[in-house]
Amino acid sequence: MATDISLRPLQELDLPFLYHVYASTREEELSVVPWSAEQKTDFLRMQFEAQHAYYQEQFPGASYDIVVVNGKSAGRLYVDRRRDEIRIIDIALLPEYRGQGTGSKLLQVVLQEARSLEIPVRIHVESNNPAMNLYQRLGFRMIEEQGVYHLLEYGAAIS
């Protein structure tokens, strides 16, 4: 089956969907917490709203896109294009779209853009993120540890 992957700019009406994407990335982590479903939902909503506000404030010129796969909203890709780097702020897919090459295809487009501009791509990734293997396969290298996060870079000049 052919996979049609595209991006469309985030709209205000996408916030419930984006919350769903965010919550899906925290399911495993929260599965061991002895909270009620309502407590987990309240916590996730607070965390999502804080993250969303932070991204909008810290990266006002970034592109905030919904990932669309075969006509259906599948995730998010937030990218800040700077003069000296492309910063992937966030990439997340719903569980049913993970492990099927969608993330890899999206990242390859960003990496090609960076190669054409001759600038690196950087992303912060939690050290236990399952996507770490994907980033390493694509050629990202850790350049800095920052607590639970690793700053990864693709395309840095190696001397």
pLDDT of residue 158: 42
As beta bridge partners, residue 73 has: 68
**What is the Cα 37 distance to its own chain's centre?**
25
Dihedral sign (CA 99, 9, 135, 118): positive
Q: Worst-scoring range by mean pLDDT, 73-82, 86-95, 147-156?
A: 147-156
pLDDT of residue 66: 98
pLDDT digits (tens, 9 = 90+) for 57-76: 999 999 999 999 999 999 99
CATH number for the domain formed by residue range(s) 5-154 = 3.40.630.30
pLDDT band at 127 (very low <50, low <70, confident <90, very high): confident
pLDDT digits (tens, 9 = 90+) for 30-60: 888 899 999 999 999 999 999 999 999 999 9
d(CA 17, CA 14): 5
Q: Which residues of 119-137 are buried (b: 16+ CB within 10 A; e: fewer)?
A: bbbbbbbeeeeebbebbee
- pLDDT at residue 1 greater than cutoff 60: no
pLDDT of residue 146: 87
**Given its phi and psi angles, is residue 72 left (phi above 0), alpha (psi -120 to 50 degrees) or beta?**
beta
Q: Which phi and psi (to 5°) does residue 81 adopt? A: -95, 115
3-state DSSP call for residue 28? Answer: helix
Q: Where are the domains of the chain?
A: 5-154
pLDDT digits (tens, 9 = 90+) for 90-123: 999 999 999 899 999 999 999 999 999 999 999 9
